[in-house]
Amino acid sequence: MHQKPGIARLPSMRNSARPASSPSVQARLSANENPLGPSPKALEAIAEALPHIHRYADPNNLQLRTALAAHLHLQPEHILCANGSDELILLTALAYINPGDEVIMADGTFISYYMRTQIMDAIQKRIPLVNGTHNLSAMADAITPNTKMILICNPNNPTGTTNGATEMQEFLARVPDDVLIMVDEAYVEYVTRNDFPDMLVEIRNGRKNMIILRTFAKIYGLAGLRLGYGVAHPDMLDYLNKVRPVFDVNALALVAGIAALEDHAHLQASLAHAAESRAFYQRELTALGLTPFASETNFVAVRVGEAGSDTAVMQAMAQYGVAINALGGWGLPGVIRISFGSPAENALCMHTLKTVLAQRS
């Protein structure tokens, strides 16, 4: 049977084991999850909704979109919910990219951008990071009449770095109106820098060529429920909604999302935990003679050696029950990424990293 070349080239993950989920894992620090767990208010809302899950949920997700709109000072029309923000990356690629269209993204960013645009047989232009940060001026330089879409991850997964407001405005001024800009803000709630760009203002001001992605999988601790959303001009979301599976957001995610938005105590505790963990890893990694990238997220990335060393360190740490990520496949050979865990998990991780690096030297 004829296969589409872009899809055929992708690895099939269907039978791959997930080492991070194996019982021998004592510290799962590989998926940027919230170690504090879900918001207790979200759990209560799920318990209340459970007896009703024989019913389909509202396909328009209106209650959640209304709550999000109030939270973000927008209208429900500006919001489209989905089965995780990853689904929105897929839907946007499906809806806007034709084979041979150019897409611009960083070399060293969220792996889903490579995979979803490859499905559409797009021509990918990957622009190297500078100090782990998107090079926005080089990304603007790369625009041609064939450019359909630019994907920006701010803060960037997997380096945790951010681009500031001034460079973002300079970049936006150089992007033609018919080029779609996707700004993925999966980690925005963790950001502390004062000059972080406010992309919601662009949508409030009526910008038509931008979609902002956010998720409940990170600070809200609902990764397993699958809930994300896009913020954009209503025209774009009406169009995207045509490719969205009607009941993609499940009934439990809808109520949990609303409750999580209201749980300020959980959000504050998660922020405090991330700040403590960030300081811990900064201190400990620096003491080991390593130079972590400047993280504004719930994870930290750090170079541990030449190409291949990232995989070797990840595999060695797995032997000690610590799951982390190797970033060679993401365009960052020699770099590992550690998600923040509980204080005990963080301590175990650093102890193990020291042991593994000592064995390699």
- The residue ranges that bind ligand PLP (CB under 6 A) are 32, 84-86, 110, 153, 157, 184, 186, 215, 217, 223, 228
Minimum CB separation from ligand PLP for residue 7, in Å? 20
CA distance 24 to 28: 10
Query: Which residues, at least 6 apart from 198, have a Cβ–Cβ distance to it below 8 Å?
Result: 165
d(CA 326, CA 129): 17
Shortest Cβ distance from residue 210 to ligand PLP (Å)? 16
| Least separation in angstroms between CB 289 and ligand PLP | 28
Q: How far apart are CA 23 and CA 29, in angstroms?
A: 14
Smallest distance from ligand PLP to CB 73, Å: 22
Give CA separation, 273 vs 135, 190, 245, 285, 346, in Å.
30, 10, 36, 18, 11
The residue (of 115 and 322) whose beta carbon lies closer to ligand PLP is 115
Instruction: Please identify, using beta-carbon distances, which residue of 16 and 361 lies nearer to ligand PLP.
Output: 16
Task: Return the number of the residue (85 or 352) whose C-beta is nearest ligand PLP.
Answer: 85
Q: Torsion over CA of 302, 303, 309 and 312, rounded to 10 degrees? A: -10
Q: Which is nearer to ligand PLP, 49 or 88 (CB)?
A: 88
Which residue number, 34 or 309, has a Cβ lying nearer to ligand PLP?
34
3-state secondary structure of 16: coil
Residue closer to ligand PLP, measured from CB, 186 or 232 = 186
Please identify the residue of the shown chain whose CB is closest to the bound ligand PLP.
84
Looking at the Cβ atoms of 135 and 309, the one nearer to ligand PLP is: 135
DSSP string covering 135-167: -HHHHHHT--TTEEEEEEESSPTTT-----HHH
**Tokens describing residue 9:** 């080239």
Handedness of CA 260, 265, 269, 271 (dihedral sign): positive
Q: Between the CA of residue 265 and those of 39, 252, 262, 359, what are the distances in Å?
A: 9, 21, 9, 42
Smallest gap from Cβ 110 to ligand PLP, in A, equals 4
CA atoms within 13 A on the CB side of 103: 30
Provide the minimum distance between the beta carbon of 177 and ligand PLP in the complex, in angstroms, as a whole number.
25
| Locus of tokens 């209201």 | 262
Calpha distance 341→350 (Å, rounded): 11
- Least Cβ distance, residue 247 to ligand PLP (angstroms): 17
Distance CA 199, CA 349 (A): 35
CB of 306 vs ligand PLP, minimal distance in Å:
26
Minimum distance of ligand PLP from residue 114's CB (angstroms)? 12
- In angstroms, what CA-CA distances link 99 with 7, 95, 150, 182? 12, 12, 16, 19
Nearer to ligand PLP, 186 or 251 (CB): 186
What is the rounded CA–CA span in Å between residue 286 and residue 280?
10
Nearer to ligand PLP, 96 or 357 (CB): 96
